[in-house]
């Protein structure tokens, strides 16, 4: 059996393992990886700072290699290759024989030879271990800089922002991302980064890194200096070719292992792929060409010589700190006769440039900053030479009353490559849908691997899916459930127009059957969103948390969470919480949303506890509802020397304004008093950040398992305008989002994305702005504290009992001590 050894265990190496196993089960595969963990996703490495774990980033768990019959050695650096005897040797002394060897050693960070690079506080940005060191050092730092303003440098800058550090980017070139953007595009990007608190320094030649034991400043050739506590070097990459050099393989003068079109090195039994390889004087630093190289080598090793590597389109689309950036084809118009057409909107931070051929027939390339929604179709137009419309400028500025000619997925040939990471064509996708029954994006992911690499092809894949299903006459139903043949939006309109007030009335008139666990809580939420009446009065609701106006916890007890608007609380109320929590023996904890949770209440105790809380002036915190949770705030200009606006007062006002507002999902907000962003407003469903002139409003962000930065909607608006826009935004979300859809997901699915949302909310393009404001005013006018209603209504209060025929407590509940407080006994350890 042929034995193939892979040296290196990154994304490209993993892809080669996948492709080899798909093509043949008769090859013995052994992988040696220098890092201690299996291959992980470096494309999304920055998400590690936003909450993803190392396991979340794994391409596959360690067990996958065993299931595939692949021997994996981690923490093993291959230090020697004996080409004559076809053996390798690791730094731990392991010796292994190969028939074919594949070098997928990747690249390392290029560290310029500056004085001071060995000081404490100087890092590179390459591996999870690097990130762990940055996180640890960042806990004791305030100001940090990134050396390098390219793709990796701006990713590193995002990491510094996620660590709540004052961030600077230092770039030697006169503009950011010099390989992808022109001067105008880079200027727009720099302005957008400045708005979110990153200071950009371009045209700066770093002379030395100053400090004794640890870094204290960057000193520049122009005589200026930048005081910093920490530096992340991201000045480019260098192919890892040490082991290739040592065994006599041919390497490029600037580094990298020379390969031919079959990815063979100067030794016919050794291949090189990924960032370690140099093909036609080019090192490819993106994942897609690495995957294509893996496919070529997998075919070689299984006897298929039909495919060669002929180079790769380096077009790229990414989101940098919430800013869309795209660069495709010939971005700088270097093709002879190329004609540039550019559109620039400095107010909204949008720049679009396309370069067309001299005969005005074809798109050659371009640059997109601030709005890259057209990237996929533009990329396809370049790759497939799709004819331009009669007025090419309409592609970026639009033609009133007309659709963009030739700019749809229907115009693409079946050979068009939709997913470059996995080399999936439009025809491949259509085949899976038409011939193999794929009906969802998830099914296409499983069968074709499309959308599983960088993810940039997802919108286009979705377009192909919808187009093909429509062609097949397949109707994709979006009904709420089997009991209602309507979408959530349909039911919203029906309830509103017909004045329906109860679930039973809606079911009797517009539904069938008795309802289910899907439609009952969804309709209850709709009724509350439309009329803002106490949800506990809806007898058919099935959601436990809404039924008892409290979150059920481990062991069967409930939490009590009074509202503490903006995190502001008087000493008297603070003492009241302490007294009540002590009386009912409740576990207390300050939450991330700046309020106090009390855990361990039995269901019959809830009205008693809330009766006392209401007497002390508290209201329901709605921690149990699909509604406003909290408005987080910093201390703002009231106390902080950096504050430029009174963020606490605004946060308290906003929280009291929207308290009790029901929506398709829970939503959160925050108000920061300056661009230092201590309230983390850009991780919220809506976030407000103070400026010298007023407020910047961000929308549709969220933390949690799938964190997403909020997007800038407007800048420097006054308080009244900011509130009016939030009214519109929230009401539009309530009216149009699917059930259990957070604002971030809602925006991701929205046709037209942020630009459409801005047109509706800010520019009132649909003419519904005043209606949305009036509907919000009506909801706020109808608000009443749900727990006050329960406490004062005997019929509602009587529902709070453990047993339907007895008012006794539940004596089966058990607790143990935890740092001086109670916690439920862990039944898993009994």
Q: Is residue 316 part of a domain?
A: no
Query: To 10 degrees, what angle do helices 458-471 and 375-383 make?
Result: 80
Query: What HEC string does 278-328 produce?
Result: EECCECCCCHHHHHHHHHHHHHHHCCCCCCCCCCCCCCEEEEECCEEEEEE
The string of pLDDT tens digits covering residues 8-33 is 999 999 999 999 999 988 899 999 99
**Among 235, 257, 289, where does a domain finish?**
235
* 640 annotated as belonging to a binding site for a ligand: yes
Considering only residues 399 and 491, tell me which one the structure prediction assigns the higher pLDDT: 491
Domain count, the chain: 5
Residues 746 and 682 in one domain: yes
Residues 644 and 693 in one domain: yes
Q: Is residue 71 part of a domain?
A: yes
SS3 content of the chain, % helix, strand, coil (to 5): 35, 25, 45
Lowest mean pLDDT among 285-294, 448-457, 554-563, 730-739: 448-457
Residues 166 and 22 in one domain: no
Residues 244 and 231 in one domain: no
Question: Which of these, 650, 687, 653, lies nearest to 197 by C-alpha position?
Answer: 687
The string of pLDDT tens digits covering residues 225-283 is 999 999 999 988 899 999 999 999 999 998 999 999 999 999 999 999 999 999 999 99
User: How much is the pLDDT for 393?
Assistant: 84
Give the pLDDT band of residue 541 (cuts 50, 70, 90): low
**Average pLDDT estimate for 289-297:** 93
Following CA atoms 716, 718, 724, 729 in sequence, which dihedral angle do they give, to the nearest 10 degrees?
20
The string of pLDDT tens digits covering residues 77-89 is 999 999 999 999 9
Residues 247 and 263 in one domain: yes
Q: Which residues contact 792 (CB under 8 A, 6 or more apart)?
A: none
Residues 102 and 251 in one domain: yes
Question: Which of these, 418, 414, 334, lies nearest to 380 by C-alpha position?
Answer: 418
d(CA 148, CA 162): 18
Residues 714 and 771 in one domain: yes
* 700 annotated as belonging to a binding site for a ligand: no
User: How much is the pLDDT for 424?
Assistant: 87
Q: Which residues contact 659 (CB under 8 A, 6 or more apart)?
A: 563, 565, 619, 622, 628, 783
* 634 annotated as belonging to a binding site for a ligand: yes
Q: Is residue 653 part of a domain?
A: yes
**Average pLDDT estimate for 671-686:** 93
Question: Which of these, 103, 99, 83, lies nearest to 26 by C-alpha position?
Answer: 99
676: tokens are 């230092």
User: How much is the pLDDT for 542?
Assistant: 60
Question: Which of these, 631, 629, 627, 687, lies nearest to 663 by C-alpha position?
Answer: 627
Which CATH number does the domain housing residue 416 bear? Answer: 1.10.10.1100
The string of pLDDT tens digits covering residues 731-774 is 999 999 988 889 998 998 888 889 999 999 999 999 999 999 99
Q: Is residue 313 part of a domain?
A: no
Residues 505 and 463 in one domain: no
**Among 278, 301, 324, where does a domain finish?**
301
Residues 505 and 541 in one domain: yes
d(CA 253, CA 255): 6
d(CA 167, CA 194): 10
Question: Which of these, 624, 633, 711, lies nearest to 672 by C-alpha position?
Answer: 633
Residue 286 has pLDDT above 60, yes or no: yes
Across the chain, which distance is largest between two alpha carbons, in Å?
A: 90
Which CATH number does the domain housing residue 689 bear? Answer: 3.30.413.10
Q: Is residue 219 part of a domain?
A: yes
* 674 annotated as belonging to a binding site for a ligand: yes
Give the pLDDT band of residue 795 (cuts 50, 70, 90): confident
Residue 403 has pLDDT above 50, yes or no: no
Residues 653 and 787 in one domain: yes
Range of the domain at 202: 122-235
For the chain, how far is it from start to end, CA to CA, in angstroms? 51
Q: Is residue 515 part of a domain?
A: yes
Q: Considering the chain, what is the average pLDDT of its residues?
A: 89
Residues 128 and 142 in one domain: yes
Residues 208 and 273 in one domain: no
Which CATH number does the domain housing residue 12 bear? Answer: 3.50.50.60
**Among 547, 565, 589, where does a domain finish?**
547
Q: Is residue 541 part of a domain?
A: yes
d(CA 457, CA 449): 11
Question: Which of these, 139, 137, 206, lies nearest to 171 by C-alpha position?
Answer: 206
Q: Is residue 216 part of a domain?
A: yes
């Amino acid at each position: 059996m042929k034995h193939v050894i892979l040296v290196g265990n990154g994304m490209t190496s993993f892809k080669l393992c996948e492709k080899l196993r798909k093509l043949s089960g008769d090859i013995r595969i052994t992988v040696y990886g220098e890092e201690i963990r299996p291959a992980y996703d470096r494309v999304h490495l920055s998400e590690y700072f936003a909450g993803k774990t190392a396991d979340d980033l794994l391409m596959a768990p360690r067990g996958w290699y065993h299931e595939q019959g692949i021997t994996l050695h981690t923490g093993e650096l291959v230090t020697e290759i004996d080409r004559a005897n076809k053996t390798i040797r690791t730094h731990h002394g392991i010796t292994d024989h190969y028939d074919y060897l594949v070098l997928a050693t990747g690249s390392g960070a290029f560290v310029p030879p500056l004085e001071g690079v060995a000081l404490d506080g100087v890092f590179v940005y390459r591996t999870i271990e690097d990130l762990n060191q940055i996180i640890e050092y960042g806990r004791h730092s305030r100001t940090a800089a990134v050396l390098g303003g390219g793709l990796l440098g701006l990713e590193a800058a995002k990491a510094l922002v996620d660590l709540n550090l004052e961030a600077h980017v230092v770039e030697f070139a006169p503009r950011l991302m010099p390989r992808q953007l022109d001067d105008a595009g880079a200027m727009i990007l720099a302005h957008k980064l400045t708005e979110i608190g990153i200071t950009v320094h371009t045209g700066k030649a770093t002379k030395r890194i100053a400090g004794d034991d640890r870094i204290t400043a960057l000193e520049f050739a122009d005589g200026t200096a930048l005081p910093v506590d920490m530096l992340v070097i991201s000045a480019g990459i260098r192919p890892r070719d040490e082991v290739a050099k040592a065994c006599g393989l041919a390497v490029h003068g600037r580094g990298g292992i020379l390969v031919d079109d079959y990815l063979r090195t100067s030794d016919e039994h050794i291949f090189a792929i990924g960032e370690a390889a140099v093909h036609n004087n080019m090192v490819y630093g993106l994942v897609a060409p690495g995957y294509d190289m893996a496919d070529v080598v997998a075919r070689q090793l299984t006897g298929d010589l039909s495919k060669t590597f002929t180079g790769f389109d380096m077009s790229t689309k990414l989101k940098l700190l919430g800013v869309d950036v795209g660069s495709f084809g010939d971005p700088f118009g270097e093709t002879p006769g190329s004609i540039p057409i550019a559109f620039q909107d400095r107010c909204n931070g949008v720049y679009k440039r396309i370069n067309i051929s001299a005969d005005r027939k074809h798109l050659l390339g371009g640059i997109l900053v601030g709005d890259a929604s057209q990237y996929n179709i533009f990329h396809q137009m370049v790759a497939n030479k799709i004819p331009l419309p009669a007025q090419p400028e309409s592609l970026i500025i639009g033609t009133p009353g007309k659709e963009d000619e030739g700019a749809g997925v229907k115009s693409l040939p079946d050979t068009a490559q939709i997913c470059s990471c996995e080399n999936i064509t439009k025809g491949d996708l259509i085949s899976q849908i038409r011939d193999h029954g794929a009906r969802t994006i998830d099914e296409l992911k499983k069968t074709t691997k499309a959308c599983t690499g960088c993810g940039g092809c997802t919108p286009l894949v979705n377009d192909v899916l919808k187009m093909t299903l429509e062609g097949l006459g397949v109707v994709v139903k979006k009904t709420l459930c089997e009991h209602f043949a309507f979408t959530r939006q349909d039911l919203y309109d029906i309830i509103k127009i017909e004045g329906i007030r109860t679930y039973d009335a809606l079911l009797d008139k517009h539904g069938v059957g008795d309802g289910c666990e899907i439609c009952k809580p969804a309709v209850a939420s709709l009724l509350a969103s439309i009329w803002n009446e106490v949800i506990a009065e809806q007898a058919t609701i099935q959601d436990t948390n809404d039924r008892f106006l409290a979150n059920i916890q481990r062991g069967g007890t409930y939490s009590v969470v009074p509202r503490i608007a903006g995190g502001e609380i008087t000493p008297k109320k603070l003492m009241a919480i302490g007294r009540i929590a002590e009386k009912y023996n409740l576990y207390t904890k300050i939450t991330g949303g700046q309020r106090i949770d009390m855990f361990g209440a039995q269901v019959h105790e809830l009205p008693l506890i809330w009766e006392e809380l209401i007497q002390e002036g508290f209201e329901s915190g709605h921690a149990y509802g699909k509604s406003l949770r909290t408005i987080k705030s910093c201390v703002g200009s009231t106390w902080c020397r950096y504050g430029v606006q009174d963020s606490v007062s605004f946060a308290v006002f906003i929280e009291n304004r929207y308290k009790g507002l029901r929506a398709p999902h829970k939503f959160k907000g925050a108000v920061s008093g300056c661009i230092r962003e201590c309230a983390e407003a850009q991780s919220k469903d809506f976030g407000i950040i103070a400026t010298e002139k007023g407020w910047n409003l961000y929308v549709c962000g969220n933390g949690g398992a799938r964190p997403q930065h909020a997007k800038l909607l407007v800048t420097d608006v006054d308080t009244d305008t900011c509130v009016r826009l939030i009214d519109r935004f929230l009401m539009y979300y309530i009216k149009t989002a699917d059930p259990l859809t957070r604002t971030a997901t809602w925006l991701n699915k929205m046709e037209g994305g942020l630009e459409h949302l801005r047109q509706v909310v800010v520019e009132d393009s649909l003419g519904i702005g005043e209606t949305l404001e009036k509907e919000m005013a009506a909801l706020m006018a109808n608000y009443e504290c749900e727990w006050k209603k329960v406490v004062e209504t005997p019929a509602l209060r009587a529902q709070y009992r453990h047993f339907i025929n007895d008012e006794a407590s539940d004596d089966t509940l058990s607790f143990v001590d935890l740092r001086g407080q109670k916690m439920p006994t862990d039944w898993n350890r009994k």
